[in-house]
Amino acid sequence: MTRIDDTFARLKAEGKKAFVAYVMAGDPDYETSLQIVKALPEAGVDIIELGMPFTDPMADGETIQLAGQRALEGGQTLDKTLQIARELRKDDDKTPIVMMGYYNPIWSRGVDTFLAQAKEAGIDGLIIVDLPPEEDDELCIPAQKAGLNFIRLATPTTDDKRLPKVLQNTSGFVYYVSITGITGAAEAQAADVGPEVARIKAQTDLPVIVGFGIKTPEAAQAIAGVADGCVVGSAIVAQIAAGKTVAEIAAFVAGLAAGAHRA
């Protein structure tokens, strides 16, 4: 059982849906980013997705691309991203942290070295968007052996023939991408998402969390209502880009979390 498994078990017992928040590590700078991450659990975040800045973020829209650029320009590194997790763990041993990003920085570090460091830092899971199931031996299988969940993305174009392959080594939860395209590009619609979530849940016992295109508490409530929870990323990152204070960002996140928890 990982912290992710424990969190979903607790939420199920409480009759609540999960709220997952994404932030880019090191955006707008290391210290501010650390303070934002530390504020997320108190704002109602059940799982933290910590973005790993990368020079070629092909699945991300402009908002998160720019966040990654700000972080890299500010000197953010993989080591500093792991350090953010370590700092959170000094005060919080319950909130799961999922590192989200691309394979290149992990491959450059060396898979075994990275996994050992991630586990030591208190990381609970990985979402690596550019590693398909055909490459499971690269990272997915080693990660699960190291005690980390490997969370896979399913999309509107993942048909019934492809879905079992996507699900076969997934653990923690399934991340359903509600729209085709890049992050932050359009608004998710519960009427479209609901049947797709049901289709996925017919083939797995894992929770299904929906992300992409959720920007308001009302949208969080609607999407969480047809899934096991929702993820908000670009809308939070946009608040950071606008120069809002940590307190203002936490208040914005609290509104989104309350929406998801009302579902």
Residues that are catalytic: 49, 60
Closest CA to 76 of 13, 127, 28, 21: 28
The alpha helices in the chain, defined as continuous H runs, are 3-14, 30-39, 62-73, 78-89, 103-109, 111-121, 140-145, 163-167, 190-201, 217-224, 234-241, 246-262
Q: Which tokens hold the place of 114?
A: 């990275």
Q: How far is CA 169 from the centre of its chain?
A: 18
Question: CB neighbours of 198 closer than 8 A, spacing ≥ 6?
Answer: none
How many other C-beta atoms can be found within 10 angstroms of the C-beta atom of residue 231? 29
